[in-house]
Amino acid sequence: MRKLLVTTFVSLDGVMQAPGGPEEDQDGGFEHGGWGVPHFEPAIITLMAEVTARAGALLLGRRTYEDFASTWPLADEDDPIGAKLNTMPKYVASRTSRSLQWQNSTLLDGDVPDAVRKLKEEDGGEIQVHGSGGLVQTLIRNDLVDEFHVLVFPVLVGKGKRLFAEGTVPAGLRLENTTTFGTGVIACTYTRVGGLAYGAMGPETGNW
C-alpha cells in the first residue's frame, strides 16, 4: 500500500489559501494572498526539496496543477524541486480539465476517492499532495491521508480556506518530527495512527 502525504503551508489559525502570492487563489474575495512569503528562508526551500525527493508521484487539484504546470517547466535543470516535479508521474483530480500539457500527467477517471484508493494500491512509492485545498478536503473526508507535513507560519489570516474544514474525520495522529526555522515557521510531520482517543481531566481522575 502506497502512503499518501499532504504537505502544505498554513497560518497559525489554520488558513492554507494563497500563501505564495496575491493572485494565487482569490476565491471568496480573499485579500491576503502572499501571507507566507515574508517568512520564507533558504532552509525552508531545502526542507521542501528533501520532502519532494521522496515522492513517487504527485496528486494535484486543478488549480494547483495549472499553477505548477505554468511555472515548474521553466525551472533550471539543476533545480532539485523542479527536476523532480517535471519528471515524476502526476495525477490530476479535475471535473473540467481535459488537456494536460505538463509531461507525465494523467487525469483521474471517475470518482476521486475511488481513484485515489486504486492509486494507493499500486506500486510506485509515496504519493504527495501539495496545495490543492479542495482536493485535500476530499481526501480528509474520506480518510485517505496517511501523513500530514504542515509548515505553520507565525501569522493570523482571519478568513480563508482551512486545512481542517467542516467534514474532517476525527482521527488520531502521532507527531513524528518538528523543525523550527529562524523566521518563526515550524514544520511538523504527523502520521495517522487510528481513531480519536478520549479521556477526562480533574483531580478525581488522577489526570491533573
**Which pLDDT value is given to residue 208?**
67
HSE, side-chain direction, 13 A CA sphere, residue 103:
10
**Which pLDDT value is given to residue 174?**
97
Residue with cell 515557521: 185
**Which pLDDT value is given to residue 102?**
94
**Which pLDDT value is given to residue 77?**
84
CA 136 – CA 8 distance, rounded (Å): 10
Closest CA to 40 of 187, 140, 174, 159: 187
**Which pLDDT value is given to residue 65?**
92
Q: What is the mean pLDDT of each run of 10 residues along the chain (208 residues)?
A: 96 95 90 96 96 96 91 91 94 82 91 95 94 92 96 96 91 96 98 92 78
Q: Which three cell numbers stand for residue 126?
A: 509515496
CA 105 – CA 99 distance, rounded (Å): 10
Q: Is 19 exposed, middle or buried (0-12, 13-18, 19+ CB in 10 A)?
A: buried
**Which pLDDT value is given to residue 75?**
92
